[in-house]
Structure 1
Amino acid sequence: MEKRGKQTEQSSALFTHQLVTLADLEKFKEQMLSEMRKLLAGGGAQLAKQWLKSREVRKLLDVSPGKLHAMRASRQLSFMRIGGVIYYDRADIDRMFERSKTIAVK
């Protein structure tokens, strides 16, 4: 049975002298979309980057470069500098949001 499975696998391989049909392309598209859906559904939280650059943090917090510098200087937001590039830990930003959150009263 293994031999037969290998033959099927080899016969389904694409060689340079073969043509790709529209049905082949449709099948490939469906396989790719299926794999992408699995990745997006299963790892949504994993897609978030752990380390963000200043530009990304400014966009996330909607603050100016000066305000972000002031937040670093006042130690509201921890950071790390590597080779002149400043990085911020996403978890620190999330904690800052949690500390700043107010509780709504009904």
Structure 2
Amino acid sequence: MPASIVTTDDLRVFKRELLDELKTLLVKQTQGNLKRYLKSSKVMELLQISPGTLQNLRINGTLPYTKVGGIIFYDSEEIQKVMIDNRIHNKF
């Protein structure tokens, strides 16, 4: 069996390819796990908030929702947008 020499450049290329593949897998996994529309119980679990807090977010217009029959649904993209819009950056 012939010996092959692995250079540092080969290792860098391998590292870059591996990181790119991992990034792609993580993006696919993240997109696949979160449904587009979430029920109240799932939103409370994700945000770790009480039913009263979720109701306040609906009432004051912070969190948009859709009501179909007696079930309230929240758009996961809207929840992410609210979280990003309300991000606080402290400067020390």
TM-score, structure 1 as length reference: 0.57
Q: 1-side partners of 2:29 and 2:84: how far apart?
A: 21
Which structure's CA Rg is the greater one?
A: 1
Q: 2-side partners of 1:51 and 1:44: how far apart?
A: 17
Q: Name the count of aligned residue pairs.
A: 67
Structure 1 unaligned regions, length at least 5: 1-40
- Tell me the alpha carbon deviations over residues 66-85 of structure 1, each in whole angstroms, 9 at most, x when there is no partner: 11011100000000011211
RMSD of Structure 2 on Structure 1 (CA): 1.8
In structure 2, the partner of 1:99 is 85
Specify the code of the residue in structure 1 equivalent to 2:87. K
Q: Which of 44, 52, 74 is residue 88 of structure 1 equivalent to?
A: 74
Pairs within 5 Å for 1:2-81:
41=25, 43-47=28-32, 48-81=34-67
Question: Greater relative contact order (Cα 8 A, min sep 6): structure 1 or 2?
Answer: 2
Q: 1-side partners of 2:66 and 2:73: how far apart?
A: 5
Structure 2 unaligned regions, length at least 5: 1-24
Q: 1-side partners of 2:40 and 2:70: how far apart?
A: 11
TM-score, structure 2 as length reference: 0.64
Specify the code of the residue in structure 2 equivalent to 1:70. N
Deviation at 1:104, TM superposition (A): 4.4
